[in-house]
Amino acid sequence: MYKIAVDLQGADNAPELLADGVVRALADSSDLCVYLCGDKTRTEKIFKGKSVDKKRLVIVDAPETVVNGEDPVAAFETKKNSSLAVGMKLCKTEGVGAFVTCGSTGAIFVTAMMTLEKIGNPVLLAELRKADGSPFCIADCGANVDCRPDRLVHFARMGNAYMKTLGVESPRIALLSNGAEDGKGNTLTKKANALLKDSGLNFIGNCEGTDILTGTADVIACEGFSGNILLKTIEGSVKAVLGEGLAMFDKLSDDVRRDDIHRVFKRLYNQYDYTALGGAVLLGFKAPIIKGHGAATAETVYHIIKNAYALVRNDLIRKIEAEFSV
Amino acid sequence: MYKIAVDLQGADNAPELLADGVVRALADSSDLCVYLCGDKTRTEKIFKGKSVDKKRLVIVDAPETVVNGEDPVAAFETKKNSSLAVGMKLCKTEGVGAFVTCGSTGAIFVTAMMTLEKIGNPVLLAELRKADGSPFCIADCGANVDCRPDRLVHFARMGNAYMKTLGVESPRIALLSNGAEDGKGNTLTKKANALLKDSGLNFIGNCEGTDILTGTADVIACEGFSGNILLKTIEGSVKAVLGEGLAMFDKLSDDVRRDDIHRVFKRLYNQYDYTALGGAVLLGFKAPIIKGHGAATAETVYHIIKNAYALVRNDLIRKIEAEFSV
């Protein structure tokens, strides 16, 4: 049985609106057990009428919620029974393999630092899809700004372990830069480029913003500032161009098959919607933390639980440990 | 008469394939005079059969070409009659207001530094279109990496002057960061944020990658490393998603009107193809240098000459001087 702790509190949508994601994920995998951390009475009420295998849905009382905008450290100090704190404690004490939440990033980060055992340093990783549908990841995409060069090698290793859980045998690592040649970059990436060459990783050199969705890299290594810009620019650009395209098509005359067109746009939109896919994954702890965005829906929750399940099943933590024992 | 120097050498396509861009631009504006810098015999031959007002096409002999991959400093030292060197000299001595080239960035930069009088520091600016069709610019997008915070204010001022030439009265300046709140960013952008607040510019705060194409900023200020990632990621993401979309539509059955669909995709593609629009503009000198990409076509040349013409006509250099005399 693979155990995943799930926190439906702290998102924009109420737990009532998110619960069906849990139901669907449980129905998909008979060896998945969800530890649902939330106000017990409310949670029992939510799941009462739903068709789930009750043995695989453990409701764990966590009556407090850390809300968005709350000071993360103060929240950790005062709300010992928050769904965040309770969920992470389960990862430490109950052999729960991963934690899924749509709570606020700062609070997640602080609670993890205070609660979980570390492996390496924290890295926020995002899994996306390339134009050909194959997965790749960006590491780091926002947890670390102002890094030293060796941290980029660390991010590359985390990405390497992550991609291995997706079945990529020898992930190709690229370093995000402003030019493909080795000599291109800022002081940080020039040094990191040299370190990556000596890292033993399958380092394929620098990559540029133009190469990300159509290139060959499985892992884009970068410090969190530019990684965040990369991630959000992909998201923003895809949404902008699809939004416009759809508006243009809607103006075309009726004999264009609207349904087909909408289906194509929907599929394109979904392909690049990383938050709906696997969410962002916080690594660097003994259990991966999968974070859906604040505006998560039941669909998002379904996908991020599925991702958490796959990471546990494919032994991400052991792969990370192997990466760092080299 | 607005004088523009044009260099058709050093691009992937031969001058013969690019010349029609010059012809079209001359036909559009009766007060445009092009100083075409290239091998005289060859250039005369190229334009012989073409319908242009010969009084407004001055052929200036520049028999040498700086090729891509050549060491920029060595090229400057040895090729005194290159089209780059000759064109920039015209900007200094003949009252030519701008220089248009598809040559290599490094060589352009070195030649400009050695030839032209400076105003401020060099900035590479790219003009793009937002989803609503309105223009905005990214400054810097690659000329400066490893900047001090005050340089970002400098880039913002250059962008401010540039957007004024496009008729934007009080350009809204945003600082590229990994979060919209003032507290978000790395050490550099946090300091730059504070400086921008005191700059007298119309600073609207931080912006994220998600906001660029749909947001309200007219100028995205950033250091060249992240600006380059931003620019190229927009380009790469748009191309990837449109390429996929088109492939999907082409598979749909015949009663979908292929022509309409292709027209929509072409229009979307063009909207975000900044290299076809106005090219990248190197500022910081007494004449703006408009650089088309190496793979430029006659269409590109047409657009970048048009942009150069607009910048000269709308007095960009005087606007930059005003910006820095505050």
Round to whole Å and give the CA distance between A25 and A300: 11
Q: What angle do CA A95, A169, A193 make, to 5 degrees?
A: 100
How near does any CA of chain B get to the CA of A224, in Å?
8
Which amino acid is residue B270, in one-letter code? N
- If we measure between CA atoms, which residue out of B296, B324, B290 comes closest to residue B121? B324
| Interval B262-286 mean pLDDT | 84
Q: Name B272's Cβ contacts closer than 8 Å, sequence gap at least 6.
A: A237, A241, B128, B129, B234, B235, B238
Record the tokens describing residue B21, joined without a space: 């861009």
| B269 within 8 A of B96, measured Cβ to Cβ | no
Mean pLDDT estimate for chain B? 92
In DSSP notation, B252-290 reads S-TTS-HHHHHHHHHHHHHHH-HHHHT-EEEEEESS-EE
Record the tokens describing residue B49, joined without a space: 């059969």
In DSSP notation, A301-326 reads HHHHHHHHHHHHHTTHHHHHHHHHT-
Cα-Cα-Cα-Cα torsion B59, B63, B68, B71, nearest 10 degrees, comes to -130
At residue B273 the predicted structure's pLDDT band, cuts being 50, 70 and 90, is confident
Partner B, chain A 248-277, Cβ-Cβ below 8 Å: 248-249, 252, 255-257, 260-261, 264-265, 267-268, 271-272
Q: In angstroms, how far apart are the furthest CA atoms of chain B? A: 62
Q: Name A122's Cβ contacts closer than 8 Å, sequence gap at least 6.
A: A109, A112, A113, A143, A144, A282, A283, A284, A285
Residue A244 forms contact with B (CB below 8 Å): yes
Record the tokens describing residue B140, joined without a space: 């810097």
φ, ψ of residue B301 to 5 degrees: the values are -60, -40
Determine the length of chain B.
Answer: 326
- If we measure between CA atoms, which residue out of B319, B320, B135, B123 comes closest to residue B217? B135
Query: Which tens digits make up the pLDDT trace of B104-148?
Result: 888 999 999 999 999 989 999 999 999 998 999 999 999 999 999
Yes or no, beta carbons of B231 and A240 under 8 Å apart:
no
**CB contacts, 8 Å: A264 with chain B:** 245, 248-249, 252
Yes or no, beta carbons of A237 and B239 under 8 Å apart:
no
- If we measure between CA atoms, which residue out of B293, B318, B294 comes closest to residue B126? B293
End-to-end CA separation in angstroms for chain B: 30
Nearest CB to A264: which of B239, B248, B253?
Answer: B248
Q: What is the pLDDT of residue B278?
A: 66
Beta bridge partners of B283: B123
Q: What is the pLDDT of residue A326?
A: 54
Task: State if pTM tops 0.90.
Answer: yes
Q: Label residues A138-156 b or e (16+ Cβ within 10 Å = b).
A: bbbbbbbbebebebbbbbb
**CB contacts, 8 Å: B271 with chain A:** 244
**CB contacts, 8 Å: B145 with chain A:** 178, 185-187
Residue A239 forms contact with B (CB below 8 Å): yes
Interface test with A, best of B71, B181, B237 (most A CBs within 10 A): B237
Yes or no, beta carbons of B210 and A235 under 8 Å apart:
yes
Nearest-by-CA chain A residue for B69: A181
Nearest-by-CA chain B residue for A227: B178
- If we measure between CA atoms, which residue out of A4, A320, A324 comes closest to residue A164? A320
**CB contacts, 8 Å: A189 with chain B:** 225
Nearest CB to B178: which of A225, A242, A271?
Answer: A225
Measured over the CA atoms of residue A9, residue A13, residue A14 and residue A17, the dihedral's sign is negative
Residue with tokens 């810097």: B140
Query: Which tens digits make up the pLDDT trace of B220-233?
Result: 999 999 999 999 99
How near does any CA of chain B get to the CA of A56, in Å?
38
φ, ψ of residue B104 to 5 degrees: the values are -75, 135
Q: Which ipTM was obtained for this model?
A: 0.90
Yes or no, beta carbons of B256 and A257 under 8 Å apart:
yes
End-to-end CA separation in angstroms for chain A: 30
How near does any CA of chain B get to the CA of A179, in Å?
9
**CB contacts, 8 Å: B261 with chain A:** 249, 256
Residue A146 forms contact with B (CB below 8 Å): yes
Query: Which tens digits make up the pLDDT trace of B144-170?
Result: 999 999 999 999 999 999 999 999 999
Yes or no, beta carbons of A229 and B209 under 8 Å apart:
yes
Please tell me chain B's helix, strand, coil percentages from 3-state DSSP, rounded to the nearest 5.
Answer: 50, 20, 30
C-alpha distances in Å from residue A44, one per residue of A37, A48, A57, A59, A61: 11, 6, 10, 7, 10
Round to whole Å and give the CA distance between B302 and B20: 8
At residue B295 the predicted structure's pLDDT band, cuts being 50, 70 and 90, is confident
| B140 within 8 A of B125, measured Cβ to Cβ | yes
| A102 within 8 A of A75, measured Cβ to Cβ | no
How near does any CA of chain B get to the CA of A205, in Å?
16
| Interval B49-76 mean pLDDT | 93
Range with the poorest average pLDDT among A261-275, A308-322, B36-50, B177-191: A261-275
How near does any CA of chain A get to the CA of B207, in Å?
10
Q: Name B305's Cβ contacts closer than 8 Å, sequence gap at least 6.
A: B4, B6, B21, B22, B25, B32, B34, B100, B290
Nearest-by-CA chain B residue for A257: B256
Residue A237 forms contact with B (CB below 8 Å): yes
Round to whole Å and give the CA distance between B254 and A250: 18
Per-residue pLDDT of chain A (326 residues; tens, 9 = 90+): 999 999 999 889 999 999 999 999 999 999 999 999 999 999 999 999 899 999 999 999 999 999 888 899 999 999 999 999 999 999 998 889 999 999 988 899 999 999 999 998 999 999 999 999 899 999 999 999 999 999 999 999 999 999 999 999 999 999 999 999 888 999 999 999 999 999 999 999 999 999 999 999 999 999 999 999 999 999 999 999 998 888 887 776 565 567 777 888 888 888 888 776 667 999 999 999 999 988 889 999 999 999 999 999 999 999 999 998 85
Interface test with A, best of B230, B233, B256, B264 (most A CBs within 10 A): B233
Domains belonging to chain A, first-starting first, are 1-117+286-317 (3.40.718.10), 123-274 (3.40.718.10)
| Interval B295-312 mean pLDDT | 94
The H or E element that residue B307 is part of is: helix B298-313
